[in-house]
Amino acid sequence: MFVSKLSLPRRTFLRGAGAALALPLLDAMVPAFTAVGRSAAAPVRRLGFVYTPNGYIKEQWTPDLVGAGFELKSSLETLEPFRDQMVIVSGLANLEAEPMGSPPGPHSRGSAAWMTGTHAKFTEGADVRAGTSADQIAAQVLGQATVLPSLELATEQNEQMVGNCEAGYSCLYQNTISWRDATTPLPMEIHPRVVFQRMFGDGASPEENRRHLQTSGSILDSVRERLGQLERALGAGDRHRLGQYFDSVREVESRIQRAEAHTADPLLELPPRPADIPQTFEEHARLMFDLQVLAYQADITRVIAFQLCRELSPRTYPNLGVSGQHHALSHHGNNPENIAQVAKIDAYHVELLAYYLDKLRGTPDGDGNLLDNLVLLYGGGLGNPNPHYVVDLPNIVFGGGAGRLKSGHHIAFPVNDNVPQMNLLLGLLAKVDVPLEMHGDSTGPLDLDTPVETAPTVV
């Protein structure tokens, strides 16, 4: 560790015209050590959620063995490099997404209940009701130390933002997985430029942000002079770390600008949000994942909820040779061809997730990397999509939880036991020092560390 006379607070920004660039964790932010061997600050704990819609194909997803030593099925093959930092949890139930006397609307209820454990109110109006989501419970604690308490992101929204979107259920239930409280669904931002400006820009309105972008061009350019002054006062290790961070910021910024260049006359009118979405879903998803890495790296937020796709998604995947819409195919009718196509989509979403995990693992954070200090849940609110089952949900937990999460095994619960999904969320919250006695329909926190069996067992 390089010890210099410069001492920086953890929340340090470089400010330029209309921009405030947060810095990553540097040695200069760690008090000079007083004992031999001290080399890093206490690790920061972070919590993330990534949602995949329309159920999944269990036969191509869930390992046959419980415990360690399981073989990854075809939908999860790209996760092999992360085997030692993943816990597969099968058999959990999302029973608050059941009809319970309400009309059909499983996708809306499944999405609303995934992080709240509550039954969505049947309404197509603005009087929606669910419950506070787990990410927002965490944000109330972890967000006290960051610029943004949380980030809520997505890649698509229903073009019909209000009104009936499924059997009398409001579109709001599909367009978010994050709820500040029982009656306040949080909007999921789909525009990378808006996310970037929330993280680094000071513009108070879309119009101000647009004017700033036209005059300044780049966040990094606006802080270049202050950056040079800072670099001259830092040690070699910190200069290298800053260089890597700024390269990442520059790359994301350049990709956003290239995406905007494809939009015809983007400055002709000033829409509510800039038109900056990349042309392909894969480019869009990867860019949103990269923004999440930057948000964690700069400690702008420690809680992120990301809706990779929404329920009832009509997205098609011609790059996979899949011609039908995701939601329509998910009602496969036990047709082998349809099942195979849905499994391809499952595997593709997981492949995009693997890109994110690789970025996290490759980004230094303290004595380790971002994945070491993160607890990340990947999953969705429906199980078998054909009959709209809300049991045996897809759940995979990643990361090291700053040393608190033991990984590398498969935990399986009997499906008929209906162990609540919220038990898993209680367990995740505990890993990031957000203890909670009860959440939604929970019955107690799930122990993620203890192997279910002393020897591998066939599910």
Q: How far is the C-alpha of 26 from the C-alpha of 349, rounded, in Å?
A: 34
Q: How far is the C-alpha of 390 from the C-alpha of 383, rounded, in Å?
A: 5
- Rounded to 5 degrees, what angle do the CA atoms 413, 428, 51 make? 80
Q: What is the pLDDT of residue 160?
A: 66
Q: Which residues contact 25 (CB under 8 A, 6 or more apart)?
A: 10, 41, 44, 299, 365, 366
Q: How far is the C-alpha of 78 from the C-alpha of 145, rounded, in Å?
A: 35
Q: What is the pLDDT of residue 306?
A: 98
Q: How far is the C-alpha of 448 from the C-alpha of 167, rounded, in Å?
A: 37
Residues 115, 177: contact at Cβ < 8 Å? yes
At residue 60, φ and ψ (nearest 5 deg) are: -105, 10
At residue 335, φ and ψ (nearest 5 deg) are: -75, 120
Q: What is the tens place of the pLDDT at every residue in 2-22?
A: 334 566 776 566 666 555 677
Q: What is the pLDDT of residue 34?
A: 40
Q: How far is the C-alpha of 69 from the C-alpha of 244, rounded, in Å?
A: 36
Q: Where in the chain is the domain with CATH 3.40.720.10?
A: 46-190+284-458
Q: How far is the C-alpha of 108 from the C-alpha of 203, rounded, in Å?
A: 34
Class of domain 46-190+284-458: alpha beta
The one-letter code for the residue type at 221 is D
Q: What is the pLDDT of residue 219?
A: 65
Q: What is the pLDDT of residue 32?
A: 45
Q: What is the tens place of the pLDDT at every residue in 305-363?
A: 999 999 999 999 999 999 899 999 999 999 999 999 999 999 999 999 999 999 999 99
- Rounded to 5 degrees, what angle do the CA atoms 165, 166, 172 make? 50
Instruction: Label residue 101 left, alpha or beta by phi (over 0 means left) and psi (-120 to 50 means alpha).
Output: left
Q: How far is the C-alpha of 272 from the C-alpha of 427, rounded, in Å?
A: 39
What b/e string do you get for 297-328 counting C-beta neighbours within 10 Å, with b at 16 or more?
bbbbbbbbbbbbbbbbbebbbeeeebebebbe
Q: What is the pLDDT of residue 39?
A: 43
Give the CA-trace dihedral at 62, 66, 71, 77, to 10 degrees. Answer: 40
Q: Which residues pair with 82 in a beta bridge?
A: none
Q: How far is the C-alpha of 292 from the C-alpha of 377, rounded, in Å?
A: 14
Kindly give the parts of the chain with pLDDT less than 50: 1-4, 32-39, 203-204, 213, 215-216, 263-274, 453-456
Q: What is the pLDDT of residue 111?
A: 97
Q: What is the pLDDT of residue 182?
A: 97
Q: Which residues pair with 372 in a beta bridge?
A: none
